[in-house]
């Protein structure tokens, strides 16, 4: 089965510019997650979708970050405007159901963002 | 709130050595516990999991036991290989709330031949 697809793999932008990341989850997976992984740290949840509804966006910096999941399938994460501290790998993951109920989350390879 | 604490790395071992990576957790509810692994150049992948106290998760020679009394989920392997070199992440998720994974900071393992 195809895995979680993310694009682009790498992106370099200047501070104050905007950027968007795209994620295509595994077919049939209801739950989709965006994580931010800063170098040397573990992934931190930004937002969790269940189908096309938001379950948890408590750690999403809403003044600059936004995310949507159209039709409960693909998702985009946008940063506008970017700051230097946004340099990180942005991971998308999906699961059949919420992972707390024992299902496995599958991760994409991530998008490495460098803000200069 | 819920959190995971892992031992600091890097961990450097010779091939066939015994591995332990410590993981402890804090949870207000009843968590499921996971170990994820990230090989160089690859995405995160599930290594093993346990969903209730005293359960043992195992995969590829790795094991971890869910210890509720010590709030721990230590990862062990009896004989590591060079191919085990990777970053290992301990994680939890609240079962009742169905929350997303909360990760530790990760432990880098380097195995030399």
Measuring CA to CA, which residue among A76, A18, A21, A22 is closest to residue A52?
A76
Reply yes or no on whether the pLDDT at B111 is more than 70.
yes
Are B89 and A44 in contact (CB < 8 Å)? no
Are B94 and A100 in contact (CB < 8 Å)? yes
Place of tokens 């994409």: A108
Residue A86, φ and ψ in degrees, nearest 5: -85, -5
Interface residues of chain B, partner chain A, Cβ below 8 Å: 4, 31-32, 34, 36, 42-46, 49, 51, 89, 91, 93-106
Are B44 and A56 in contact (CB < 8 Å)? no
Measuring CA to CA, which residue among A56, A13, A21, A55 is closest to residue A37?
A21
Are B93 and A99 in contact (CB < 8 Å)? yes
Largest Cα span, chain A: 41
- Could you report the per-residue pLDDT of B83-95, keeping only the tens digit for each? 999 999 999 998 8
- Could you report the per-residue pLDDT of A38-87, keeping only the tens digit for each? 998 999 999 999 998 999 999 999 999 999 998 889 999 999 999 999 99
B78 in the Ramachandran plot: left (φ > 0), alpha (ψ -120 to 50) or beta? alpha
- Return the pLDDT at A98: 80
- Closest-CA distance of chain A to residue B5, Å: 11
Residues of B in contact with A5 (CB under 8 A): none
Mean pLDDT score across all residues of chain B: 94
């Amino acid at each position: 089965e195809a895995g979680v697809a993310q694009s682009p793999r790498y992106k370099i932008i200047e501070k104050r510019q905007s950027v968007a990341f795209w994620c295509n989850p595994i077919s049939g997976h209801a739950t989709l997650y965006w994580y931010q992984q800063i170098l040397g740290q573990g992934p931190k949840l930004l937002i969790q979708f269940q189908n096309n509804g938001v379950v948890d966006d408590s750690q999403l910096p809403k003044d600059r970050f936004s995310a949507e999941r159209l039709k409960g399938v693909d998702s985009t994460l946008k940063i506008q405007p970017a700051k230097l501290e946004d340099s990180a790998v942005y991971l998308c993951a999906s699961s059949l159901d919420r992972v707390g109920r024992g299902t496995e989350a599958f991760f994409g390879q991530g998008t490495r963002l460098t803000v200069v | 709130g819920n959190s995971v604490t892992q031992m600091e790395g890097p961990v450097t071992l010779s091939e066939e050595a015994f591995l332990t990576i410590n993981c402890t957790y804090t949870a207000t509810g009843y968590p499921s516990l996971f170990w994820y692994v990230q090989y160089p150049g690859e995405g995160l992948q599930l290594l093993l999991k346990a969903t209730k106290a005293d359960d043992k998760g195992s995969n590829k020679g790795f094991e971890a036991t869910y210890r509720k009394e010590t709030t721990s989920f230590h990862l062990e392997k009896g004989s590591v290989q060079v191919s085990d070199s990777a970053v290992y992440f301990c994680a939890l998720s609240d079962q009742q709330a169905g929350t997303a994974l909360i990760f530790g900071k990760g432990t880098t393992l380097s195995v030399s031949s």
